Structure formats: C-alpha cells, structure tokens
Amino acid sequence: MRWHPPLPFSIHSRVISPRRFLISALLCLAACLTSCNRVLPAETNPESAANAFFASVANGDTRSAYDSSAFGFQAAQSYEAFNSNAVALGLIHAQPPVWTRKEIGPDEAKFHATVVNKSGAQVGLSIVLTPDAGAWKLFSLNTDFGIYNTASDNPFTLVGKGTGFNDVYHQPIPTNPEIIDLIHQTMTQFNSAVQKGDFHDFYNSVSQQWKDGARDTGQPAAGVTATMLKDHFQAFIDNKVDISPVLASTPVFDNPPIINPDGLLRMDGHFDGPAFRVNFSLEYAYELPKWKLFGINVNVTK
C-alpha cells in the first residue's frame, strides 16, 4: 500500500482539533511502516511460486496446487485430470524439484527440472509461470523427454491435450480392434496364471488403483492381492482348465463395451469353443498412458 500524506487543510474546511490530528497522523505513520516492512509473498517470486506448487503436490494437497495455478492452466484441464496425472507420474510424495534451467522475464518464467518421484524414478519437467492477479502462477506443465527439451507430441504432456487427456470421465472409448486386443491380452495372461497356479505375474499387470484399493478420482475401491486372485480362481487351477483353444477366436460381446459412470471401461462377452464357452466380465481403469485391469470375472459353461 502506498502512503499519501494528508492533503493540506482547506481554508473552508471545518476545524479539526490538535488531538484528532495527532491520532490521524500516527495512524498514517503506522500504516506506512507496516507497508514498508511487509515481507512480499512467495508468489511474487516465480521460483518460490514453483517450489510452493510442487511442495503442495508432494504433500498430497493437489487441490491447493491446482487452485493456486493460473486461469489458463485450469481452463486446459479439470482438477480430476490434474490429480490423476500427478498420481500416475508419482509426483505425490516426490522429492523437491532440482531446477536445471531458468529463463525469467517480466511476463513469463520458464523452468526445467528433474524430479525424483515416489518410485525413485527421475521425471523431467518443464513449466511456465505467468503473472496472474498480482502473483506468479503456474500456467503450463509438461514432462520432458530430455532435461532441456519439451516435445509438443510428448505422450506424457499434462497440459495441452485438453481436458480429457487423462481424465477418466472424459476418456474416449477405445476402438473395436483395441478392445479386442485388450481382451485377448488379459485373457491370455489370466490363462497363463491358471496354468502356472501362480497369479503374481498377472497381479503385476493390473491397475495400481485396484492394488491400492483407491481410485485416482478419490473414490474408494476394493483392493486386491495376488493371493486373493489365486483363491478366487482356485477351481480353475484344481480342475486344470485351459481356455487357450478358444482364445484364437474373436470374442462375442453380450453388451456393447461402455465407459460407465465411474469412468471404468466395461465389457461383457464370451468366447465360443467346440467343447465349452468362456464367459467374461472385465473392467479397466485408465492409468497413464493406457487402460489397465480393474476387475475380472471368468466362468466356463458347456
């Protein structure tokens, strides 16, 4: 706040007592001293603003980080998409960024950094901050193929793909060939687990959300373990069921594949074989950059 000295008294103004004038002067002086000694907020410094943003994300407070970003950043993607990307990239509980390059101008600040994520892997990031409502705020965030370059076709770009890039509620349904490939892959991995009597490899292929028992959207979910999967399908193992003969055929859909209200890709269908029919119900959660299994039910009928 800039302090302006009191205007000179007009000869036509009413008389002000010396006591009231002294109080007014003291109040103005106090306001000046407060303004002159005020510590500027971190957001007036682009690097401090960037550090504060990533500190909020690392602490799991993605909501505050998102709310602190510039209008342009929020217009590019929903909070759910941002949170989902932060989880998928392991930025929650990540180490503070190490800034490797800085370009700071009056209207734009560009930073490149490496971040050691939750899993211990290095993630390259490039960000742009701009002045917004009197403070520096994050305007764009991208992952880098290398430390010093930002590729426009980067498949892990967090901003610039639109609101639906990794927002489970806005993911386009895969094409029919992609869905068929997904079914074949899942059912082949499932049959391999049955033949080995061990579901650990199969378990490693399922979505992290199913393992954790928590959706990236914040919704609760039933978690799963390799032991739980093996126990559920123990009858297949005991009866030495081998569904590989039918997996060469094309699956028949009992209902059209959909993305349900929970953002899960759901498909129900069966494989017809000469000796038996294999029925399946599969659900997939989108995890950067692909759909991963979130639920499975398989049974065999004559």
Could you report the per-residue pLDDT of 50-92, keeping only the tens digit for each? 999 999 999 999 999 999 998 777 766 678 778 877 887 789 9
113 and 190 part of one domain: no
Find the Cα–Cα–Cα–Cα dihedral 25, 26, 32, 33, rounded to 10°.
Answer: 160
Same-domain status, 246 and 190: yes
Q: What is the average pLDDT across 15-20?
A: 37
Assigned domain for 161 exists? no
Assigned domain for 63 exists = yes
Amino acid at 104: I
pLDDT over 70, % of the chain? 72
The whole domain housing 21 covers 1-38
48 and 132 part of one domain: yes
pLDDT at 264 over 80: yes
Q: Are residues 33 and 101 in the same domain?
A: no
Q: Is residue 170 one of the residues assigned to a domain?
A: no
Is 12 in the same domain as 46?
no
Residue 213 CB-half CA count within 13 A: 4
- In order, the DSSP letters of 133-195 are TTEEEEEEEEEESSSS---TT-TT-SSSS-TTSS-TTTPPPPPHHHHHHHHHHHHHHHHHHHH
Residue 93 forms part of a structural domain = yes
Is there a single domain that holds both residue 11 and residue 106?
Answer: no
Across all residues in the chain, what is the average pLDDT?
Answer: 76
- pLDDT of 156 above 70: no
Per-residue pLDDT, 76:
60
Tally of domains in the chain: 3
Structure tokens, 218: 């914040």
In a domain, 152, yes or no: no
pLDDT the model gives residue 222: 65
Whether residues 83 and 62 share a domain: the answer is yes
Residue 239 lies in a domain: yes
Pair 183, 117 in one domain: no
Question: pLDDT tens-digit profile of 161-204?
Answer: 333 334 555 567 899 999 999 999 999 999 999 999 999 999 99
The pLDDT tens digits for 106-147 are 888 999 999 998 888 888 888 889 888 889 998 888 775 433
Answer whether residue 109 is part of any domain. yes
57 and 32, same domain (yes or no): no
Q: What does pTM read for this prediction?
A: 0.49
Give residue 174's identity as a one-letter amino acid code. P
CATH for 260: 3.10.450
Specify the CATH number for the domain of residue 99: 3.10.450.100
Partners of 138 in beta bridges: 129
Assess whether 69 and 184 both reside in one domain.
no
Domain co-membership, 59 together with 82 = yes
Are 205 and 284 within one domain? yes
